[in-house]
């Protein structure tokens, strides 16, 4: 986490309305929200902007969320980047699959703004404590 700069969160979702909603929930005067609409774009944004946290939809075109996570985790610079899975799939076992894959948390659509803010705040504070 950069102490001299604004926090950056990357929201990755192929649905523009979902990205807009997450931006509205997360953007603050000291936090900016970046966006990507597919898995390939997500990897590019992460490499280019080194965000502090990523909210990553699981079902994406070109490269799904699991593929994005594997790709960024293979780069030592992003091995500990906090990544929250975002999915409409709330079936039994999905949460465990997501956490076993290495995601740091799990958000179910439709999102609850307060729950998302809480998870994001907790993850960012955890990163600050580890720095």
Res 127: pLDDT: 85
Res 128: pLDDT: 84
Q: Which backbone phi and psi does 9 adopt, to 5 degrees? A: -120, 130
DSSP letters along 13-36, please? -S-HHHHHHHHHHH-BTTEEEEEE
CB 42 within 8 A of CB 56: yes
Q: Which backbone phi and psi does 111 adopt, to 5 degrees? A: -75, 155
Q: What is the pLDDT of residues 95-130, one digit of tens each?
A: 899 999 999 999 999 999 999 999 999 999 998 888
Place of tokens 């948390």: 105
Res 1: pLDDT: 46
Q: Tokens representing 16?
A: 């523009």
Q: What is the pLDDT of residues 32-83, one digit of tens each?
A: 999 999 999 999 999 999 999 999 999 999 999 999 999 999 999 999 999 9
Q: Tokens representing 81?
A: 């980047």
CATH topology of domain 7-125: Rossmann fold (3.40.50)
pLDDT of 13 over the 90 cut:
yes
């Amino acid at each position: 986490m950069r102490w001299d700069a604004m926090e950056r969160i990357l929201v990755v979702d192929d649905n523009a309305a979902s990205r807009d909603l997450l931006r509205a929930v997360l953007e603050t005067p000291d936090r900016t929200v970046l966006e990507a609409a597919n898995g390939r774009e997500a990897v590019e944004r992460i490499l280019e902007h080194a965000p502090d946290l990523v909210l990553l939809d699981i079902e994406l075109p070109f490269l799904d969320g699991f593929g994005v996570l594997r790709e960024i985790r293979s780069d030592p610079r992003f091995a500990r980047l906090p990544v929250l899975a975002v999915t409409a799939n709330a079936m039994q076992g999905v949460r465990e699959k997501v956490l076993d894959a290495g995601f740091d948390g799990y958000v179910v659509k439709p999102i609850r703004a307060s729950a998302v803010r809480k998870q994001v705040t907790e993850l960012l504070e955890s990163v600050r404590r580890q720095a």
